[in-house]
Amino acid sequence: MQNENVIEVKDVWKSFKTVQAVRGVTLNIPKGKFIALLGPNGAGKTTMVEMIEGIQKPDKGEITIMGKKWKDNEDELHNLIGLSLQETRFIDKLRVTETLKLFASFFDLGEERVEEIISIVGLEEKKKAYNVNLSGGQRQRLAIGIALINNPSILLLDEPTTGLDPNARREVWDILKNLKEKSSTSMVLTTHYMEEAEYLCDYIVIMDNGVILKEGTLNQLLEGADGNPKTLDDLFVTLTGRMIYE
C-alpha cells in the first residue's frame, strides 16, 4: 500500500483485565481506500476501531490520524471522522430529520446537508418517522447517514450489517459502494462477513486473537496462500483451522 496514509497504527497493544485484545498490531490506511478488518467475534476488531476512534487508549504503541494523535487534537479529529458503532440506539421519539439536524448542529451544518444525507441513505419516505418505528435496515442506514453528515475524511464502521436481512444488507452495501465511487473518503469497516469484505473493500486485514494473520488485496490474499484457497472462507480455514463464524 503506497499513497498517503490517513491512519497509521504502530505496534499497538491493548488488554482488558486478563484478556489481551490487541497484540502488536501495525497497520497503515491510505487515503481514499476501503479497508476491511475481518475476523470472528473476539478477534480484536472492535477494540482496534475503538482505539482509532479515540474511545480506548492503547496500552502500548501509537496511533495517528492524518498525522495527529488524539491527545490535544480531539476537536479537530472529531471533525474529520464519521463513525457508526455497533448497536447504537438513537432517541426513540425523535424523527429521522430531527435526529440528523441534531447531529448536523454539532458540525455547524444546516438543513441543506440534512436533506442531502436523507437522499444519500434513501430515507426520503421515512424522514418524518420516529426512530423507534424504523426497521433494522432503516436504522442502520440512519446510523450511516449520521456518520456521513460531516462529509468525513475517514469513515469507521463497526459491523454495519450485523443482524440485517440480505436485502437490508445489500442496501447498506449500495450506499457504501456509491460513497466509494463519488468521494475520497477512507473507510475502515469491521465485519465477519467474507462477502462484505470482498464486495466493498480494496484491502482486507484478517485478524484473530488480537493479531493480524494476513493482509492484502483479495487477489494477493488468495494467490499467496498455501493450499490455493478459492475464497476468503477457505483462506480463513487454512490460516486458523476453523470457520470464521464458529
Binding residues for another protein (CB under 8 A): 53-55, 75, 78-79, 81, 83, 85-94, 98-99, 101-103, 105-108, 130, 146, 150
Nearer to another protein by Cβ, of 150 and 208: the residue is: 150
Q: Say if CB 63 and CB 69 are below 8 A apart.
A: yes
State in angstroms the smallest separation of the CB of 51 from another protein.
Answer: 12
Nearer to another protein by Cβ, of 20 and 79: the residue is: 79
Nearer to another protein by Cβ, of 79 and 238: the residue is: 79
Query: SS3 of 215, please?
Result: strand
Residue 89 in grid coordinates:
440506539
State in angstroms the smallest separation of the CB of 149 from another protein.
Answer: 9
Which residues touch 69 (CB under 8 Å, ≥6 apart)? 62, 63
How is residue 209 annotated by DSSP? T
Q: Say if CB 167 and CB 135 are below 8 A apart.
A: no
State in angstroms the smallest separation of the CB of 157 from another protein.
Answer: 13
Nearer to another protein by Cβ, of 13 and 107: the residue is: 107
Q: Say if CB 27 and CB 9 are below 8 A apart.
A: yes
Distance CA 38, CA 197 (A): 7
State in angstroms the smallest separation of the CB of 238 from another protein.
Answer: 36
Alpha-carbon radius of gyration of the chain: 18
Nearer to another protein by Cβ, of 81 and 194: the residue is: 81
State in angstroms the smallest separation of the CB of 188 from another protein.
Answer: 14
20 backbone dihedrals φ, ψ, rounded to 5°: -90, 100
State in angstroms the smallest separation of the CB of 87 from another protein.
Answer: 7
Nearer to another protein by Cβ, of 105 and 184: the residue is: 105
Which residues touch 81 (CB under 8 Å, ≥6 apart)? 53, 65, 152, 153, 154, 155, 156
Q: Say if CB 157 and CB 188 are below 8 A apart.
A: yes
Nearer to another protein by Cβ, of 79 and 209: the residue is: 79
User: Is residue 83 within a helix (H) or strand (E), and if so which, with residue range?
Assistant: strand 81-84
Which residues touch 126 (CB under 8 Å, ≥6 apart)? 96, 134, 138
State in angstroms the smallest separation of the CB of 218 from another protein.
Answer: 30
